[in-house]
Amino acid sequence: MTREDVVRIALEVGFYDGEVDKCQLMLERFAYLVAQQEREACAKVADIAIDFWVKAGYPEGAEAREAINIAEAIRARGQP
């Protein structure tokens, strides 16, 4: 999420321009933490698929590998 996104969302929820300027660092940190939590929740869905394919006896199958790739890609979005 870009700084512009954070400012736009803050204004949409009712912050005034001056408030956004004063609180921008906190708002950016808040947005980062919310996005981090959402990414992890999404990655856990892929982890469930991994567990399913492993328990089904296909730990090296294309389906399990793809679920692993998806989970890794989601988690990597939070990296600088």
What are the tens digits of pLDDT across the range 36-67? Answer: 999 999 999 999 988 988 888 887 788 888 98
- The phi, psi pair for 32, rounded to 5°, reads -60, -45
End-to-end, the C-alpha distance of the chain in Å comes to 12
The rounded distance, in Å, linking the Cα atoms of 66 and 73 is 10
Residues 7-19 pLDDT 10s:
999 999 999 988 9
- Would you mind telling me the total number of residues written for the chain in this entry? 80
The rounded distance, in Å, linking the Cα atoms of 56 and 63 is 11
- Residue at token pair 């698929």: 49
Q: Cα-atom radius of gyration of the chain, to the nearest Å? A: 18
